[in-house]
Amino acid sequence: NPVKAAAEKAVEVLRGDGGPPDGIPGRPGAEAPPVDEPTAARGPLPPKPDQSGPETVSPTGRPTGAAQADMAQGGEYLTTAQGARLYDTDHSLKAGARGPVLLQDHHLREKITHFDHERIPERVVHARGAAAHGVFKGYGTAAKVTKAAFLAKDVETPVFTRFSTVLGSRGSSDTVRDTRGFATKFYTAEGTFDLVGNNIPVFFIQDAVKFPDIIHAGKPHPDREIPQAQSAHDTFWDFVTLHTEATHHTLWNMSDRGIPRSYRMMEGFGVHTFRLVNAEGATTLVKFHWKPRLGVHSLVWEEAQLVNGMDPDFHRRDLADAIEAGAYPQWELGIQTFPDTPDQTFEGIDLLDPTNIVPEELAPVRPVGLLTLNANPSNFFAETEQVAFHPGHLVPGIDITDDPLLSGRLFSYLDTQISRLGGPNFAQIPINRTHAPVNDMHRDGMHQTAVHTGVAPYRPNSLDGGCPFLAGADTGAYIEVPREVPAAKKVREAPASFSDHFSQPRLFWLSMSPVEREHIIAAYTFELGKCYEQSIKERGLKVLANIDPELCEQVAMGLGLPAPAATVSLTTPAPSPALSQLGQTWPLDGRVVGILVDADGDLDGVRSVREAVLDAGMVPLVIAPAGGKLEGGGEPVAVQRTYVTARSVEYDAILVAGVPGIGSDAYAARDAKAAEAVAPAGAATDPRVQLLLLEAFRHGKAIGGWAGAERVLESAGIPVGTPGVVTGDSGTGTLEQVKQLLGQHRVWERFPIGV
């Protein structure tokens, strides 16, 4: 078999144990094109439990549904989409090796055509995201207020959660200043429930009709399509300063909440007030909260900007790495409940206004279940990209209110999937399939994958025996709460209670610690400072004056403009401590500790510290002048980062094990001049080590050292004794001190330092 022989020859050549090939395939003199050896088919990945939608069987008897993985890559041989085996996929069919490509090459046309259509429109907002599978376990504590079965005690429900930024395109950076989406699909036995929330509990607008306006203002300018994934530009600030109901959400964005440290360290909020219904039909108003087990933490702005360059996928990678390492992120779902009174207000707060929060001190958040994300998607496109959320995906026991923002969303999400996912059958895409039995009588349409049987997809019918049947309250039907709608005129108006745009932003500002206020001032100064239009900066200051005079004055000083006076009377509400991110001690899971060392450092100490870091559920990364392994004493120490690949922003804390050498040694042999440039002769410490330590210091990170590390710290200008810079007699002793510091997340005493 000449084809097989050529293939064997090619394999030999590749292995380097046969001479040169007889001829280059496709050129004159070549014997025959080499072909790939058929390899054993890799079995389909086991379906995840939460992907196991209803199994169906096609008319040929071939199972579909979860077994689709099998259809995707099951065969042993490379084939066309129609299953015909191929002998070559590297050369077009030509009239002679140097001749024109023939139109009749159906494999070429099929391969290129499919490729041409690989992309689908990105989401119009929340285009950039990352997701994970998991499980939700009900505590049963909500049983009195809702009959939702998935909240019952110990019921486990598969989930898929997608986190996102709002403004940026699919390829934009993760750590931009923006709101984060936090959308969870619960595949419950009673149908799918989607909680489509954000990491900020309020929204920019009170009525969905303005959604295109806020998004057009926030997206890049339509002429040059800049800036990408940023709010620091004229159109955004033009809109949010003219439209003062955006003040509260904008203030949260300018706070540390706008730059989370990790998706794993964000709160989530359902934002709107929903209505719960219990088994007796009694209703309760509710706000949903996600509380991260690791606490709520943020980057500092300078760090966020550096991360965008160093690792634009920082949040995406962090989530996937943590799950892969078994450090499964967890959140408790909590509810704030309010009596379902006719006016739908609580302590004077209008619950239908999505620019309002209800302080947790007034209505405590009560935990009702636990979310654990424990599996990464196996295919980004199939799962993270194609997942389709919708606030109207509700289950019995959870109903909506008349929040006008929510009403518009109930229309928008279904509509958007039709253009994004190419038609009305997106519910059949594996990640979107409900785990409850379906008989929706929907038929046909683009990308129909089901082969429906029967002749009567209508009701009532006699031809299909009257199937499917209607459910009642006792058989799990979703029945809307029969709420009375007061007699009213048809108007385009907002209620008077929606007109207070400043007292809740003021509450937020007054609840911040001094460091958090400093960060907010810096953020407004940065963002307004990036606007070109003087009038927009001035209007921005007028808005700030209505939140707080000090905030306004500080930002005005930074902009070099006079601070205007408030145009509303400022109240002084009691602060809500729950709004501040500071003041508690948090678990250390998944925090990253960089360990700086070279072959002359205390390698034994590094070995013990690595173990101790791992024991604490954290991630140790050894940083050395060059890659490979550090030899000396016991087991060689593997190096994960070098002076070239390390940047401070990757670490939550840095430990220095001795006096790490000048990294230029690695270059010296190759290029003495370059080595001199990196580390001038006589420099005590490699400048990249100094930068690493100095940046870590600026960003409030814990720094520790032993075995003579004081010298290195001093050379970086951060002597031992400055807050959060510690030394010890041993590696593990130093780590213990650093762990104490890490529990507070950052060394807050170092602020303000102008970042």
* Residue ranges in 497-646 assigned as alpha helix (H): 503-510, 514-529, 534-545, 549-559, 603-615
d(CA 570, CA 543): 12
Nearest-approach distance from CB 197 to ligand HDD, in angstroms = 5
Please count the helices (runs of H) and the strands (runs of E) in the chain. 20, 20
198 part of the active site? yes
d(CA 313, CA 317): 6
CA angle 725–729–735, rounded 5-degree value: 55
With a CB cutoff of 8 Å and minimum separation 6, the contacts of 291 are 267, 331, 332, 334, 365, 367
Indicate the residue among 123 and 688 with the shorter CB distance to ligand HDD.
123
With a CB cutoff of 8 Å and minimum separation 6, the contacts of 324 are 376
Residue in 6, 69, 159, 271 binding ligand HDD, rule: CB under 6 A:
271
Nearest-approach distance from CB 51 to ligand HDD, in angstroms = 17
Which structure tokens are listed for 697?
């210091």
Indicate the residue among 406 and 523 with the shorter CB distance to ligand HDD.
406
Which structure tokens are listed for 51?
């992907």
Indicate the residue among 129 and 594 with the shorter CB distance to ligand HDD.
129
293 is in an annotated binding site: no
Residue in 9, 48, 107, 126 binding ligand HDD, rule: CB under 6 A:
126
126 part of the active site? yes
The answer to whether residue 706 forms part of the interface with ligand HDD (CB under 6 A) is no
211 is in an annotated binding site: yes
d(CA 497, CA 351): 10
Q: Are 528 and 494 in contact (CB under 8 A)?
A: no
Give the count of beta carbons closer than 10 Å to the beta carbon of residue 378: 14
Indicate the residue among 157 and 412 with the shorter CB distance to ligand HDD.
412
The answer to whether residue 408 forms part of the interface with ligand HDD (CB under 6 A) is yes
First to last CA, the chain: 70
> According to CB under 6 A, which residues from 363 to 382 bind ligand HDD?
none
User: Which one from 198, 199, 253, 432 is the annotated catalytic residue?
Assistant: 198
Spell out, one character per residue from 149 to 168, where the chain touches ligand HDD: x when CB under 6 A holds, - when not: -------------x-x----
Nearest-approach distance from CB 122 to ligand HDD, in angstroms = 9
Nearest-approach distance from CB 289 to ligand HDD, in angstroms = 13
Nearest-approach distance from CB 252 to ligand HDD, in angstroms = 12
Residue 316: left (phi > 0), alpha (psi -120 to 50), or beta? alpha
The answer to whether residue 196 forms part of the interface with ligand HDD (CB under 6 A) is yes
413 is in an annotated binding site: yes
Spell out, one character per residue from 534 to 553, where the chain touches ligand HDD: x when CB under 6 A holds, - when not: --------------------
Q: Would you call 327 exposed, middle or buried from its count of C-beta atoms within 10 A (0-12, 13-18, 19+)? A: middle
The answer to whether residue 129 forms part of the interface with ligand HDD (CB under 6 A) is yes
> According to CB under 6 A, which residues from 200 to 239 bind ligand HDD?
203, 208, 211
Of 216, 210, 197, 208, the closest CA to residue 263 belongs to: 197
The answer to whether residue 123 forms part of the interface with ligand HDD (CB under 6 A) is yes
Residue in 30, 124, 382, 720 binding ligand HDD, rule: CB under 6 A:
124
User: Which one from 107, 114, 117, 126 is the annotated catalytic residue?
Assistant: 126
Indicate the residue among 132 and 388 with the shorter CB distance to ligand HDD.
388
Nearest-approach distance from CB 288 to ligand HDD, in angstroms = 11
DSSP 471-516: P-GGGT------PPPPP--------GGG---SHHHHHHHHTS-HHH
d(CA 177, CA 602): 40
698 is in an annotated binding site: no
Which structure tokens are listed for 203?
């929204």
- Which residues form the catalytic set? 126, 198
Give the annotated binding-site residues for heme.
123, 162, 211, 409, 413, 420
Residues near ligand HDD (CB under 6 A) are 123-126, 129, 162, 164, 181, 183, 196-198, 203, 208, 211, 271-272, 354, 387-389, 405, 408-409, 412-413, 416
